[in-house]
Structure 1
Amino acid sequence: MSRELVAAAGASQSHTSTSVFHKLKCSACLSSSSSSDCSGKGKSKSSTKKLSHGFHLVEGKSGHDMEDYHVAEYRKKKNHELGLFAIFDGHLGDRVPSYLKDNLFNNILDEPNFWKDPTIAIKNAYRSTDNFILENSLQLGPGGSTAVTAIFIDGKDLWIANVGDSRAVVCEGGCANQLTVDHEPHTERKKIEKKGGFVTALPGDVPRVNGQLAVARAFGDHSLKAHLSSEPDVRHVPIASNMDFFILASDGLWKVMKNQEAVDLVKPIKDPKAAAKRLTSEALARKSKDDISCIVIRFG
């Protein structure tokens, strides 16, 4: 989301101290996306619907440290194999997306009704996670983060959720199908104004909540939360045989590339890690200056 918040005081505050979060960051890509350029891949161990994934993350050229984080892992839970994938795109520092990387999926899967009603469980976990971030803003800082999360269950069902403008797209029979909703201020203007906020666009700029944030929903953002929502859009997607691959990416990609362009670009690339790297390379070639994070997930 680049530096969507323009309040200089807040930006200064998020970088004043060498936080514990920075000290605890692991240099390996698999556990942290904080390096300027990192990539990796992996596979599920399921004997039925096997998943393979690749990811690539590139630090942007906006003059701030990397604020994107990702999750790409597999877990066994109640005799099911879960593929867990996420992109967290932070603003005003990396403490909130770092916290989300380590905790959001745990919070979702710990919800007692996850297996009975995943939609309610995901919404409850998003809400409780956001409440924790706000209650601990002194430690986590004033910033926030978008999120797109994907939970594959046995390679047969997908539960996708998001807040903000990090996006999930599936290639379905060769066509791009967007699975998430971009929460943009101009589309939620009435809700924001009803809460006492406003949406404005400076000349040559994009619509922003209170002239600061370019998304209408996000985790954190303590100073704007009275006018923001952390309510995710949640969608259940039964996996069909004509679904070839999925792309999860931050808006550093989607700002410069349409959904179908992204799908067409990597359709012939069978290695998901190479596909993710190709997408980020193309975004850079198109002059994207934001942090760019991308995960490509294939079957087989």
Structure 2
Amino acid sequence: MTTREILNKMKVKVGLGSSDPDSGKGKSKMSKNITHGFHLPDFWKEPADAVKRAYSKTDSNILEMSGELGRGGSTAVTAILVNCQKLIVANIGDSRAVLCKKGVAKQLSVDHEPNTEHEDIKNRGGFVSNFPGDVPRVDGRLAVSRAFGDKSLKKHLSSEPFVTVENINDDAEFIILASDGLWKVMSNQEAVNCIKNIKDARSSAKRLTEEAVNKKSTDDISCIVVKFQ
């Protein structure tokens, strides 16, 4: 069953027509007043562009709410699985997506580090410095070159994600989506090896976060595991 067919069935269930699979809204028939809405502009034709627009909109919303949320920022990694066959992965910063295929780790994201994008940062009026500290930082403050938010540094940062599309076949076993608190203490292959014999996805994510803590990770640790088999 295609994604469009699934969306159409969802719409029919809530009493909607099936003329437009890209947009709609509905209300549950349960006792609770639950409503939903969705809109997918050009996602089926140009999924990468649609994801980039979503990241841009998210960044704008975070900046607009900086008074409530604070002036800090965040990295991000996302994955969309279409028809159980096509995986669309996007990221900004050092949150990472790692796919396991036949037991071998394959990184699908790009770590956006200041030293690899120093020319772009310089062209925006910023600079990259190892002082203070021991890693390259944007304006001597932020250790990633792309992020949501970070209003005080926004002129020198990018929020455009790296986007890639990966075909999912029988070789694909699972994907790990995690923040840098995991990757600072574990290599891609170490993370894959840690959970390759665990069948349950939730237990796998818990195992990875526990292992990162055991390895004395001092950064934030967020982890999602999606099992394909």
- Provide the residue aligned with 1:165 in structure 2: 94
- Provide the residue aligned with 2:66 in structure 1: 137
Aligned residues: 201
RCO comparison, higher one (Cα < 8 Å, 6+): 1
Which of residues 123, 129, 136 in structure 2 aligns to 1:200? 129
- Provide the residue aligned with 1:77 in structure 2: 7
3-state SS of paired residue (2:211): helix
Structure 2 gap ranges (5+): 11-35
The alpha-carbon distance between structure 1 residues 299 and 282, as it changes in their structure 2 partners (threshold 3 A), is same
Which of residues 170, 186, 189 in structure 2 aligns to 1:257? 186
Identity of aligned residues (%): 59
- Provide the residue aligned with 2:158 in structure 1: 229
Q: Distance in 1 between matches of 2:154 and 2:97?
A: 25
Q: For the Cα contact (< 8 Å) 1:111–1:125, is it kept in 2? A: no
Q: For the Cα contact (< 8 Å) 2:132–2:140, is it kept in 1? A: no
**Cα deviation 1:147-205 (Å, max 9, x = unaligned):** 10111122111111001101000111211000000001111111001111011112652
1:220 pairs with 2:154 = no
Instruction: Provide the aligned C-alpha RMSD in A.
Output: 2.1
**Cα deviation 1:272-298 (Å, max 9, x = unaligned):** 222112111211111101221111111
**Cα deviation 1:63-102 (Å, max 9, x = unaligned):** xxxxxxxxxxxxx53459xxxxxxxxxxxxxxxxxxxxxx
1:134 positional shift: 1.9
The alpha-carbon distance between structure 1 residues 193 and 78, as it changes in their structure 2 partners (threshold 3 A), is farther
- Letter matched to residue 110 of structure 1: H
1:275-294 aligned within 5 A: 275-294=204-223
The alpha-carbon distance between structure 1 residues 155 and 79, as it changes in their structure 2 partners (threshold 3 A), is farther
Which of residues 124, 129, 148 in structure 1 aligns to 2:53? 124
Larger Rg over CA atoms: 2
Which of residues 204, 211, 219 in structure 1 aligns to 2:140? 211
3-state SS of paired residue (2:135): coil
The alpha-carbon distance between structure 1 residues 222 and 290, as it changes in their structure 2 partners (threshold 3 A), is same
Query: Which structure has the highest strand share of the two?
Result: 1
1:111 positional shift: 4.0
**Cα deviation 1:244-267 (Å, max 9, x = unaligned):** 111111100000000011111111
**Cα deviation 1:104-125 (Å, max 9, x = unaligned):** xx99x63411121111111111
Using structure 2 for the length normalisation, give the TM-score: 0.82
- Letter matched to residue 218 of structure 2: K
Using structure 1 for the length normalisation, give the TM-score: 0.63
Which of residues 190, 202, 212 in structure 1 aligns to 2:119? 190
